[in-house]
Amino acid sequence: MCIIFFKFDPRPVSKNAYRLILAANRDEFYHRPSKLADFWGSNNEILSGLDMEEGREGGTWLGISTRGKLAALTNYLQPRQDPEARGRGELVTHFLTTDLDSLSYLKKVSVEGHLYNGFNLLAADLSTTKGDVVCYYGNRGEPEPIVLAPGTYGLSNALLETPWRKLCFGKQLFLQALERSQALPKDALVGQLLDVLNNEEAQLPDPAIEDQGREYVQPILSKYAAVCVRGPNYGTRTNTIILVDTDGHVTFTERSMLDRDPTRWETSTHEFTLQS
């Protein structure tokens, strides 16, 4: 279970506004090995965490490049997984390393979508000079990817904007933080967005999650039904905030669980300017 809230406006009116604000949680088994976010690639141009699970090494759930390519992935909640399916994390890394634009890439992915378990994929081209383009494809939804209109969106483990109660609740908290964004110093905005991502209030009952997950999710529904998932062996392991301002300056903040211990966390921030 993961969750992403994001707002983008390629041409914000105010100089102090952000072109993109994204807040995301990665939920995963605590024992699954991964690397903290850092730069990688031939010229250290890609920034992401990396999955190190055997057979899935090098995949990721969220990343951005200095060239302005951004991608984020959530799994689609389904009762049974195909153990022979391809690793979904490669969908993000392939986009970050390809020369294809976001829409062309997602059209290619849509042809191969049946090779994976259920997923949602956001792909974006961020360009200070040409304008930003954000696209979406889910392999349990429409057959073709779509170009998103500027606005505010929520994505969890159903299709984009599916009104799970925790998504609606979290999106409202996200919107409240955005209303204050221009009046807040950047560090304060990041702090408020981290508070949104770490809200553990279960939004129950939620028939939509129960229906989609059926017996798979019922035993731990009270944990899954919060923005921040906190179970004994599985839950929210990483919070990520990405801010992109009008000049193309990127602030990437990651808060990560250490040593499988929900009481120990490390926060790091990377900053860079998108290449023109």
What end-to-end distance do the CA atoms of the chain give, in Å?
35
The correct CATH number of 3-273 out of 3.40.50.720, 3.60.60.10, 3.40.50.2300, 2.60.40.10 is 3.60.60.10
Please write down the HEC assignment for all residues of 100-147.
CCHHHHHHHHHHHHHHECCEEEEEEECCCCCCCEEEEEECCCCCCCEE
Q: Provide the pLDDT for residue 99.
A: 95
Do 151 and 127 form a contact (C-beta atoms < 8 A)?
no
> At residue 144, what is the residue type?
E
Q: What percent of the chain has a predicted confidence (pLDDT) above 70?
A: 97
**Entry pTM:** 0.96
User: Cα separation of 108 and 92, whole Å?
Assistant: 13
Report how far residue 127's alpha carbon sits from residue 15's, in angstroms, rounded to the nearest whole number. Answer: 16
Compute and round to an integer the Cα radius of gyration of the chain.
17
Q: What is the pLDDT of residues 32-90, one digit of tens each?
A: 999 999 999 788 999 999 999 998 899 999 999 999 999 999 999 987 889 999 999 99
| Interatomic CA distance for residues 145 and 100, integer angstroms | 14
With bands split at pLDDT 50, 70 and 90, how would you rate the model's confidence at 157?
very high
Name, in order, each residue with C-beta under 8 angstroms of 266's C-beta and a sequence gap of 6 or more: 36, 255, 256, 258
The confidence score (pLDDT) of residue 217 equals 65
Lateral strand order in the sheet of 34-40: 34-40, 46-51, 62-65, 69-75, 119-125, 133-138, 146-147
Distance of CA 259 to the CA centre of its chain: 22
Q: Cα(170)–Cα(227) distance, rounded to whole angstroms?
A: 6
Q: Which of 250, 181, 198, 238 is nearest to 61 (CA)?
A: 238
Nearest to 225 by CA among 202, 208, 241, 244: 202
The domain locations on the chain are: 3-273
| pLDDT tens, residue by residue, 232-253 | 899 999 999 999 999 999 999 9
pLDDT digits (tens, 9 = 90+) for 201-216: 999 888 888 888 776 6
Q: Which residues have a Cβ under 8 Å from the Cβ of 209 and sit 6 or more positions away?
A: 77, 164, 165, 166, 217, 221, 224, 225
